[in-house]
Amino acid sequence: MRLTRRGLVVLAILSVTLLQGGAAGVAHWWRVDSEKALRAEQEALADAQRRSTARGEQEQPKDPEPVGPTWSLLEGPDVAATLQRVNELGVEAGVTFDLIKASASKTPGKQAFEVAGRGKPGSVCGFLAAVEQNDRLMIVESGRFTPGDEEEVAFQLAIATYHRGGGR
């Protein structure tokens, strides 16, 4: 028996239709099973809440902790201290710097820095988190990451600090 082009197309369409129907059936079965499991969990939660209420246990809502700025603005730019702090954060995180320097900024109250280096991906992420969580307001304005050696990532960052005074 020899199939023509038309026969092959019809066979292909039928095969795809059967596969789609089978996939829809499996998806429907999974959905029904998931809905049953969800209902069972909701009933267990409601039962636990009823028992808790019957025993007189009430969960006291926790007061939200006050959220405030953890950083501070200096009266003027402190380039040397900021460069030293960026270097300390990098050493603590385990990254190696190729370049750390201050650069000119035309925005009053802003000091820009260029930082380039390399490190393991986890170390680079730790450095970025340390910069973000530092008590001095430091913002990573832009970044570029490229593969370094087999286990390292190279990075170039533009970091800015702000102060209350005028331009530098």
Domain ranges of the chain: 1-56, 79-162
Beta bridge partners of 116: 99, 156
Higher pLDDT, 134 or 13: 13
- The answer to whether residue 147 scores a pLDDT higher than 60 is yes
- The answer to whether residue 120 scores a pLDDT higher than 80 is yes
pLDDT at residue 167, rounded to an integer: 43
**pLDDT tens digit sequence for 56-84:** 755 566 666 665 555 566 676 778 888 88
Beta bridge partners of 98: none
Phi and psi at 133, nearest 5°, equal: -95, 5
- Listed in order, strand segments (DSSP E) in 6-165 are 96-103, 110-119, 138-147, 153-162
Mean pLDDT of 23-45: 93
- Whole-model pTM? 0.54
Higher pLDDT, 9 or 136: 9
61, burial (CB in 10 Å: exposed 0-12, middle 13-18, buried 19+): exposed
Measured CA to CA, the distance from residue 136 to residue 113 in angstroms comes to 14
> Which numeric CATH code is attached to 79-162?
3.30.70.60
